[in-house]
């Protein structure tokens, strides 16, 4: 470990503040460090390993495809991406899918589609995208511009122009921003993840959807973190009773392999045409085979289990000593401790539980299939660390 730390420090760009632990293997929601010590994984690689580590069904799907065709250009047809796109559309009512490799890229695809849609429909000055204050949409220069948190922007000016931010849950402010700036689209996270696990208010989301429809402004939902069963519905927007025009997703979709997707609804299904967008790795057959295994298992029973485990976790955490509040939905949970969140996460790690932070919250994004006893064991450790 100390040698690895030295190599990492010397050769890896200094963009990550790592915890002092090297993880080497795992199974399901348990993960092991180099000394064989066991941890309960309550972060699942930031909501990526949707069915845990080295899940047997996912592994069989991935390795089966790996031995057949690990990559092929999008110049040719391949089966896993076509089948995955069909399943995504059948489960959401969306019409078409573009595959890429990450959340930021999915948002880039959504933004490009919005710009083209509005330019064609309303004219070239309808290019602005309205996003919410405290949002997070990625790390590229365009998705940083979309991100409504100034501290991400400071060192990287100039960012892509054409983004304005409005306060979350203030429908009048979003409407004004959209109309004054000739907006092409409004892009939201239904639960702000990096911003501190903060769900939007339901009447704000439904009001926004009605406004967007009336004005022919695209409603785009960033489901990179909230998607793929995380909130107890397949996509978080389904908790709010709205139908977006564009949905971006990534993280949990690939079950641990890099895969992003932009889903287009009726308005935008034909917006991007041949040559308008592309990706060398997008729709990679191995990633898509894994995603097919993940998505086909996010059914009503699994979602009911997510909701049940969520209720158990919320009940155990709410009002516990040292816990100020608990937020989120499904297995996307934010705990506001009295102590600094980073101190709680450190104490949890020392006691064998890996958690994340999001601003002043301890953030939990465990595997969707985490067994109840393991989940509750972790929650007890977290409660102990908060007290």
Ligand X SMILES: *Cc1c(COP(=O)(O)O)cnc(C)c1O
Judged by the rule CB under 6 A, the positions of this chain that interact with ligand X are 102-104, 107, 136-138, 189, 193-194, 222, 224-225, 250-251
Shortest distance in whole angstroms from residue 102 CB to ligand X:
3
Nearest distance, CB of residue 124 and ligand X, angstroms: 27
Pick between residue 41 and residue 189 the one whose CB is nearest to ligand X. 189
The closest of 72, 80, 40, 79 to 295, measured between CA atoms, is 80
Cβ proximity to ligand X: between 53 and 144 the closer is: 144
Nearer Cβ to ligand X, position 135 or 369? 135
In the bound state, the residue with its beta carbon closest to ligand X is 103
8 Å CB contact between 366 and 331: yes
Here the tokens at position 227 are 């998607």
Q: Are 133 and 148 in contact (CB under 8 A)?
A: yes
> Is 223 or 381 the residue whose CB approaches ligand X more closely?
223
Q: Are 222 and 206 in contact (CB under 8 A)?
A: no
Q: Taking a C-beta distance cutoff of 8 angstroms, is the pair 62, 290 a contact?
A: yes
Nearer Cβ to ligand X, position 104 or 171?
Answer: 104
Under 8 Å between Cβ of 146 and 250 = no
Tokens linked to 76? 């040719």
| In the complex, least distance from residue 144 CB atom to ligand X, rounded to whole angstroms | 11
Nearer to ligand X, 16 or 76 (CB): 16
Cβ neighbours of residue 306 under 8 Å, at least 6 residues apart? 229, 230, 231, 232, 330, 331, 368
Our CB check for ligand X shows the closer of 233 and 320 to be: 233
What is the smallest separation between the CB atom of 236 and ligand X, expressed in angstroms?
10
Least separation in angstroms between residue 135's CB and ligand X is 8
Minimum distance, C-beta of residue 140 to ligand X, in the bound complex (Å): 8
DSSP assignment of 68-86? T-S---TTS--HHHHHHHH
Output the smallest distance, CB 334 to ligand X, in A. 13
Contacts of residue 201, Cβ cutoff 8 Å, sequence gap at least 6? 169
Is the alpha carbon torsion for 74, 79, 81, 86 positive or negative?
positive
């Amino acid at each position: 470990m100390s040698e690895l730390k030295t190599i990492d420090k010397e050769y890896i760009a200094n963009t990550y503040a790592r915890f002092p632990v090297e993880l080497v293997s795992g199974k399901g929601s348990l993960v092991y460090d180099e000394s064989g010590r066991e941890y309960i994984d309550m972060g699942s690689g930031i909501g990526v390993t949707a069915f845990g580590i080295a899940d047997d069904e996912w592994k069989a799907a991935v390795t089966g495809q790996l031995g057949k065709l690990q990559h092929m250009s999008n110049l040719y047809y391949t089966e896993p991406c076509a089948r995955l796109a069909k399943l995504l559309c059948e489960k959401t009512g969306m019409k078409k899918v573009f595959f890429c490799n990450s959340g930021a890229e999915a948002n880039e695809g959504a933004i490009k589609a919005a710009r083209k849609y509005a330019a064609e429909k309303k004219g070239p000055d309808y290019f602005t995208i309205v996003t919410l204050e405290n949002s997070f949409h990625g790390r590229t220069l365009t998705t940083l511009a979309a991100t409504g948190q100034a501290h991400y922007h400071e060192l990287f000016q100039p960012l892509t122009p054409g983004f304005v931010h409005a306060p979350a849950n203030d429908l009048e402010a979003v409407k004004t921003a959209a109309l004054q700036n000739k907006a092409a689209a409004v892009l939201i996270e239904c639960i702000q993840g990096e911003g501190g696990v903060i769900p939007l208010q339901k009447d704000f989301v439904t009001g926004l959807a009605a406004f967007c429809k009336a004005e022919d402004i695209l409603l785009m939902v960033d489901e990179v973190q909230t998607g793929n069963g995380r909130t107890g519905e397949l996509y978080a927007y389904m908790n709010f009773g709205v139908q977006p025009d564009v949905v971006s997703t990534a993280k949990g979709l690939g079950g641990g392999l890099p895969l992003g997707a932009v889903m287009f609804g009726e308005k935008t299904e034909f917006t991007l045409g041949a040559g308008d967008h592309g990706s060398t790795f997008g729709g990679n057959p191995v990633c898509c085979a894994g995603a097919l295994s993940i998505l086909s298992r996010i059914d009503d029973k699994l979602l009911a289990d997510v909701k049940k485990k969520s209720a158990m976790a919320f009940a155990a955490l709410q009002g516990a000593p040292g816990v100020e509040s608990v937020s989120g939905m499904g297995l996307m949970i934010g705990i506001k401790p009295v102590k600094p969140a980073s101190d709680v996460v450190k104490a949890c790690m020392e006691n064998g539980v890996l958690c994340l932070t999001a601003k002043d919250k301890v953030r939990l994004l465990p595997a969707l299939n985490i067994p109840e006893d393991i989940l509750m064991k972790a929650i007890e450790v977290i409660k102990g660390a908060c007290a």
